[in-house]
Amino acid sequence: MRERRLLYSEEARSDEINLSPLIDIVFILLIFFIVTTVFVEETGVEVQRPQAASAQDLEKNAILIAITAEGKVVYGGREIGISGVRGVVRRLIKEDERPVIIQVDKAVSVERYTRVHDEAALAGATRINLAAQN
């Protein structure tokens, strides 16, 4: 009797699904969402802002500078001092024109805020705002 040969061997017939393309697509989507996400920049310190009836929401793409109750000037979680404000603001507005928002604690003197405001203005910032609570 003649022996029948199978057209496909047992190894070639597989009931498994190839997951490689699925994994590739998942990683591409993950990279897409990471790249397109807008991150909100924070100052890195907690400030008790004064209340104002005319307060508005912060812009997402702003330079945030904080003045703590102890009088420390902070940007991005590190202390820069009043003399460092001009350099930081000049470097950041060179890339693109962004507003400067100064978060000042209630206990800070007007003189200290004015000095920080002046340094930002001397750096070339055209929109400088004081952050307050609603």
pLDDT, tens digit, 9 for 90 and up, residues 8-28? 555 555 677 788 888 999 999
Distance CA 44, CA 66 (A): 9
Question: Does residue 26 sit within a domain?
Answer: no
Question: Does residue 90 sit within a domain?
Answer: yes
Note the pLDDT tens digit of each residue in 61-82. Answer: 788 898 988 889 998 888 898 8
Q: Using the predicted structure, report yes or no on whether residue 6 has a pLDDT greater than 60.
A: no
Q: Using the predicted structure, report yes or no on whether residue 85 has a pLDDT greater than 70.
A: yes
- In whole angstroms, how far apart are CA 111 and each of 16, 87, 126? 73, 20, 20
Question: Does residue 20 sit within a domain?
Answer: no
Q: By C-alpha distance, which of 98, 99, 75, 102 is closest to 88?
A: 75
**Total tally of structural domains belonging to the chain:** 1
**Residue range of the domain that includes 107:** 63-131
Question: Does residue 127 sit within a domain?
Answer: yes
Please enumerate in sequence order all residues whose Cβ is within 8 A of that of 73, keeping only pairs 6 or more positions apart, or say none: 65, 66, 67, 79, 80, 81, 82, 84, 85, 116
Question: Does residue 100 sit within a domain?
Answer: yes
Mean pLDDT of 49-67: 69
Verdict on whether the full-model pTM lies above 0.85: no
